[in-house]
Chain A
Amino acid sequence: MNDLVGEAMNDMVGIVIVSHSKDIAKGTADMVRQMVGSEVRVAFCGGNPDGGLGTNVPLIIEAINKAWSPKGVAILVDLGGAETNSEMAVEMLQPERRDLVVVCNAPIVEGAVMAATEAAGGSSLEQVRAVAEELSAA
């Protein structure tokens, strides 16, 4: 799923999509790839540990590590539990990675596309987050 390894990726913030539904997460990632291209590293996950609707800390940690870039990773989430579980996952990362991962307060599909677009231009993690979160400001 995350076969987008290339020289360029180290210069771009990675994107993680966390939904209660694996289908929504995958569909969002597909949209990002089609609209933004494949140079940005995108990982996604969805579903609880039994495969039903929900989110799941181990899978989120795995997705963050898959999308990892030295410039950081921006996470887009859908509903409350996805946010809480993503924050928990960030705290459980290796200490040197924790400060380089943010959970964006943005709608998941639009936020992922906007964040990836900004990331593709080589922006910093803060810029990527700010662009995604502009969607929630109105």
Chain B
Amino acid sequence: MSLQPETLKSLVRAAAEQVIASAPELTALDQAIGDGDHGTNMKRGFEAVLGKLDTIGAQPPDEALKTIGKTLVMTVGGASGPLYGSFFLAAGDALANSRQLPDDLAEVFACGVGAVSARGRSQPGEKTMLDVLFPVLETLKTEAGNPDLIKRVRATASEAAARTAPMQATKGRASFLGARSVGHVDPGARSSCVLLQAVCNTLEARQ
């Protein structure tokens, strides 16, 4: 079984719309510990993705993911562009190298997460989007085959994003704030959570 273009299209649409709707929240989080542009940057990037939805829907999954990645890289206008862009470019590469969705989901996701980590030269525990992506990867690995996988992923994403609040940032803009970054959810962790939840909700509704 492989990922159908129309499934991918509906996932992309849902994820993009949810991020766009969350832009004010993401910006508010980023104003607390960053430079306040995460919401508008993500909105700009995902609006561009929505604008290419027909192209994306007509492409094989590997090329579709690369189109998403490249679009984000070229339009976001902040560090989150290359970070999210690298995720989708690497995941697309994994599919091009004979990995399949949904069967190799954990492996494909791992390639994406690895690319984000390399691009940001960052590891989990530094109050970044990786603090959501790594726990979700872990859930994808350990709960593979579980009929409740979607629920588990959604719960993991949401708990992991919340767990960034007490962390002190050591990477990214928030690291300039040192201890003052403590007490706020990381905007990148939150946007990763929003994207993953939109995907989970859409998959669940299709079941």
Q: Is the A/B pair a real complex? A: yes
A-B contact pairs, 9 of them (CB 8 A): A48-B41, A48-B77, A53-B37, A54-B77, A81-B77, A81-B80, A84-B81, A84-B120, A87-B82
Interface centre among A50, A52, A53, A80 (most CB of B within 10 A): A80
What total of chain A residues lie within 8 Å of the partner, measured CB to CB? Answer: 20
A70 to B85, CA, bound (A): 29
Mark contacts of A30-67 with chain B using CB atoms, 8 A cut-off: 1 yes-contact digit, 0 otherwise. Answer: 00000000000000000011101111111000000000
Partner of B41, one of A54, A57, A83: A54
Asked if A80 contacts B44 (CB within 8 A), the reply is no
Number of interface residues of B (CB under 8 A): 21
Is the CB–CB distance between A84 and B83 below 8 Å?
A: yes
Query: A57 contacts B44, CB within 8 Å?
Result: no
Contact A57 B73, beta carbon cutoff 8 Å: yes
* Interface pair B41/A80, CB less than 8 Å apart: no
Decide if B119 is an interface residue (CB 8 Å cutoff).
Answer: yes
Whether, in the assembled complex, B52 has its beta carbon less than 8 Å from a beta carbon of chain A, the answer is no
Number of residue pairs spanning A and B whose beta carbons lie under 8 angstroms apart: 61
A69 at the interface (CB under 8 A from B): no
Complex Cα–Cα for A84 and B16 (A): 22
Other-chain residue from B35, B77, B79, B120 in contact with A49 (beta carbon distance below 8 A): B77
In the complex, A79→B175 CA distance in Å?
A: 12
CB 8 Å contact bits of B62-81 with A (1 = contact, 0 = none): 00000000000111011111
Query: What separation, in Å, do the CA atoms of A52 and B36 have in the docked complex?
Result: 12
Which residue numbers of A lie inside 8 Å of B, CB to CB?
20, 48-50, 52-58, 79-81, 83-85, 87-88, 92
* Chain A residues within an 8 Å CB radius of B79: 80-81, 83-85
Closest B residue, CB atoms, query A53: B37
Contact in complex: B173, A88 (CB < 8 Å)? no
The answer to whether the Cβ of B172 comes within 8 Å of any Cβ in the partner chain is yes
Task: Output the least CB separation between B32 and chain A (Å).
Answer: 17
Within 8 A of A (CB), among B111-127: 119-120
A87 close to B37 (CB less than 8 A) = no
Asked if A80 contacts B83 (CB within 8 A), the reply is no
A121 to chain B minimum Cβ distance, whole angstroms, is 32
Q: Is the CB–CB distance between A54 and B75 below 8 Å?
A: no
* Cross-chain contact B74 with A84 (CB below 8 angstroms): no
Distance in Å from the Cβ of A107 to the closest Cβ of chain B? 15
